[in-house]
Amino acid sequence: MGSSLSLSKEEMPFILAVDDMPSNLELIEAIFQQAGYNVCKASSASSALEIYNSYPVDIAIIDVMMPGMNGFELCKMLKKLTSRQYLPIVLLTALNDSKNRITGLECGADDFISKPFDPVELITKIKSLLNLKDLYEELDHSENIILTLVVAMEARDPYTKGHSTRVGDFATEFASFLGLSGKDRELLKKAGVLHDIGKIGLSERILRKPGRLTSEEVKMIKKHTLVGEDICRPLVSLHGILPAIRSHHERWDGSGFPDNLAGEEIPLMARILSIIDAFDAMISIRPYRGRRTIESTLELIGNERYLGQWDPELVGIFLKMMNQMSMKGYHYV
């Protein structure tokens, strides 16, 4: 694993600038590009909507006075399109009177700036709105509801109680050992906690069945990867973990599910989870067997390192981490 290992790109925000005057657009572009932002320019509302559909726009600066659809209408339309998330919009206007500001607020504008504008003031406003956007996304209430659902789901079965939380915590530990960024560690924690959320629809009878499962039951259980992805998809703050939820049962040799991905086609986050998930399941008590010791579990994982279930390089690093932890007297669970 190289030191450049990363699950997410640290990207600068995308600013959508809309003005029918090319000189204004060029000025906005110059100001924000110098500050390291990505700027997409649109000279009309229709091209702004096209850009919005093609780029991950984080914030929009819109001139009010434009031929055709004006800035107020465009603002209203963008707010409607982004109703499930927060897209801050700053209206740029020469009309600095209260009537226009009220109209702007009614259309959902978050702030205003008068022309000719002070570049420092504009950058400051944009930065503070982007901070607010981060906060909104962080405080995505539905995410907390889903996290609570996991606890409720696991409480149904004493054998899996606490499994997802442990996987989340231990995946974070492994991520630190791998040198992943704080953002990636955060994603892995969520992915660990939520990886089996799709089991919520499975009956206790199947979950606790001690004997052999029928092919129909196996099919139902396998669906939990896709159901989990569907449950988390509506939440913006969980988009980064969808590939991990979907692919945590893929196998390095391509014989896993749901997509038969192989090797590095499997997202790194899913490859990490697959090892931690298996480790925690192995050392937990199951209806059909007792608890395995950590030592025998690690031996088993080591023996199976090249047999096709996991990324062998990651398994090697995992075993190294566990070895170091045991030398420090760390006790799992």
**Catalytic annotation, residues:** 199
Q: How far is the CB of 203 from Fe ion (least distance, A)?
A: 16
Give the binding-site size for Fe ion (rule: CB under 5 A).
1
Nearest in space to 45 (alpha carbons), one of 75, 15, 25? 75
Q: Which of residues 189-248 bind Fe ion (CB under 5 A)?
A: 196
Q: Please say which residue, 103 or 225, places its beta carbon nearer to Fe ion.
A: 225
Neighbours of 141 (CB within 10 A): 8
* C-alpha distance across the termini of the chain, in Å: 27
How long a stretch of residues is the chain?
333
Q: Which amino acid is at 161?
A: K
171 burial type by CB count under 10 A (0-12 exposed, 13-18 middle, 19+ buried): buried
Neighbours of 37 (CB within 10 A): 20
Q: Please say which residue, 110 or 196, places its beta carbon nearer to Fe ion.
A: 196
Q: How far is the CB of 119 from Fe ion (least distance, A)?
A: 51
- Three-point CA angle 178, 181, 185, nearest 5°: 75
Q: How far is the CB of 248 from Fe ion (least distance, A)?
A: 6
The residue at minimum Cβ distance from Fe ion is: 196
Q: How far is the CB of 244 from Fe ion (least distance, A)?
A: 11
Q: Is 280 in the site for Fe ion (CB under 5 A)?
A: no
Q: Please say which residue, 113 or 226, places its beta carbon nearer to Fe ion.
A: 226
Calpha distance 104→108 (Å, rounded): 7
CA atoms within 13 A on the CB side of 3: 0
Q: Which one of the spans 24-32, 88-96, 178-186, 188-196 is the region binding Fe ion (CB under 5 A)?
A: 188-196
Q: Please say which residue, 196 or 250, places its beta carbon nearer to Fe ion.
A: 196
Q: Mask 36-75, x = binds Fe ion (CB under 5 A)?
A: ----------------------------------------
Q: Please say which residue, 162 or 316, places its beta carbon nearer to Fe ion.
A: 162
Calpha distance 256→248 (Å, rounded): 9
Q: How far is the CB of 196 from Fe ion (least distance, A)?
A: 4
The token duo for 251 is 């196998």
Distance, CA of 221 to chain centre: 24
Kindly list the residues in this chain that would bind Fe ion in the complex (CB under 5 A). Answer: 196
